[in-house]
Amino acid sequence: MLTQRGRQERQEREPECGERQEISDLLSRLRNNEMKWRDRHGMLKREGYILRPRLRPGWKPSWLRSGKNPLDCEDGEPLPLRSKCVDATHRESGRMVCIKEVKTNSPEYHAAKLMMKEDWAADHRNHCVPIMKIFEDHEDHRCSYIVMPFLRPADNPPFGTVRDIIGYVSQILEGLVFLHEKGIAHRDCVMRHTLMDGEAMYPKGFHPCNLQRTEDYSAIAQHRSRATAMSEYYFVAFGISVHIPEEVESKLVTGASGIDQDPPELSDLVPYNPFMLDIFIVGNMLKREIYEKFSNVEFLAPLVEAMARVTPHTRADAVQALAIWNGICRNLTTVHREWHLQPRGRNPIGSLSCTDRFKNNRPDYRDYCPIFAVYSSFATSPNPLLIHTFLS
């Protein structure tokens, strides 16, 4: 016979059990976009790629057998909504990849083809996302798939030291010089469209839909420092980019699309220089995402000023911006480089660095699957699961 206390404890547990059952029922049903990829599992397997258990034909939720909380199970992580991408494993190498569906012969399809050129891949200045493979759908030739390494947001985990910022800015500017030299203007090179190869930083891997967890969901993903891992950064999301060959006289375009709407020249009617647009966007990104957030990166001021000028023809071009940056870096001491980033307005004495805060597992919206944010189309929703797109 239950005591009054026992009955009270049971009553308190019952809502939790009901909520858990509701979660189980919800996660046991595949979403429409998940069913689409499940139906293509056989084709992807023939191409050499394996989907996660949840997306394979005949999947049954593991928690129904184990009795575990669905939220603690790897196959309890659904694919983000509105995503044109899926994570997969390359059978031969065991490497995690991202596969994106595109229209055959679309601009992003041709951009990916261009990026596969051997001379591009051999150039150390190339910071375009590596394209591993492109193949057509086995049944619908109007549809193709682009295979890329699975990358993380550039600032996840958060930048920890001044040295981290130096490495990021150096690679972005070097990559911009390369792009412009090849006649490509990105036109949407904001921070969310610069990703990081996290393979070396996370030697035991990470889950594609919850970046804080290991790939098998058994533990919190542990990472090395950016300096130790020698992190590589890449431009993604070339959906509104333009390729202007050297022999083409007119270097002007129109169009007001893009995430950053601050550039004054953006217009659907008045032509402008897309290369100078890139310069403004990167300069504005460095200002908003780094310079205005941290107090010990004042050295960025001359670079930001040269890149984010209102009048396009007065801005430094990519080569000049890189030269300015290299001059700044030559004057930075070792002590300054190793300094933990200090958020503006915070007392630097005794304060935790960004790295320390990440290790303490404080909540951060970027820790939860920004993968598909830059691999699918422009994210109009604030949902952090929708920040990932590749060439869209």
Q: How many domains does the chain have?
A: 1
What's the pLDDT at 105?
87
In the three-class reduction of DSSP (H, G, I as helix; E, B as strand; rest coil), residue 255 is classed as: strand
d(CA 365, CA 56): 29
Are residues 156 and 211 in contact, defined by beta-carbon separation less than 8 angstroms? Answer: yes
Structural domain span for residue 307: 152-197+226-235+242-362
d(CA 195, CA 175): 12
**CB crowding 135-170: b at 16 or more within 10 Å, else e:** eeeeeeeeebbbbbbbbbbbbbbbbbbbbbbbbbbe
Neighbour order of strands in the sheet with 232-235: 152-153, 194-197, 232-235
d(CA 23, CA 11): 19
Please check whether residue 167 lies inside any domain of the structure.
yes
What's the pLDDT at 348?
55
d(CA 370, CA 212): 11
CB within 8 A of 186, min separation 6: which ones?
Answer: 176, 179, 193, 235, 238, 241, 278, 281
CB atoms within 10 A of CB 267: 13
Please check whether residue 175 lies inside any domain of the structure.
yes
The tokens of 69 are what? Answer: 């909380």
d(CA 150, CA 205): 11
Distance linking the first and last C-alpha atoms of the chain: 64
Per-residue pLDDT of the chain (392 residues; tens, 9 = 90+): 444 544 454 344 334 677 888 999 999 999 999 999 999 999 999 999 999 999 999 999 999 999 999 999 999 999 988 678 999 999 999 999 999 999 998 878 988 999 999 889 889 999 999 999 999 999 999 999 999 999 999 999 999 999 999 999 999 999 999 999 999 999 999 999 999 999 999 999 999 999 999 999 999 999 999 989 999 999 998 889 999 988 998 999 999 999 999 999 999 999 999 999 999 999 999 999 999 999 999 999 999 999 999 999 999 999 999 999 999 999 999 999 999 999 998 765 544 444 443 444 433 333 334 444 444 433 333 333 333 333 44
- Name the DSSP letter for residue 290: I
CATH for 162: 1.10.510.10
Amino acid letter, residue 317:
D
Please check whether residue 54 lies inside any domain of the structure.
no
Residue 293 bridge partners (DSSP) = none
Residue 93 bridge partners (DSSP) = none
Please check whether residue 308 lies inside any domain of the structure.
yes
Classify strands 85-90 and 133-136 as parallel, antiparallel or unpaired. Answer: unpaired
Are residues 343 and 358 in contact, defined by beta-carbon separation less than 8 angstroms? Answer: no
CA 7 to chain centre: 50
Are residues 231 and 201 in contact, defined by beta-carbon separation less than 8 angstroms? Answer: yes
- Name the DSSP letter for residue 193: G
What's the pLDDT at 83?
72
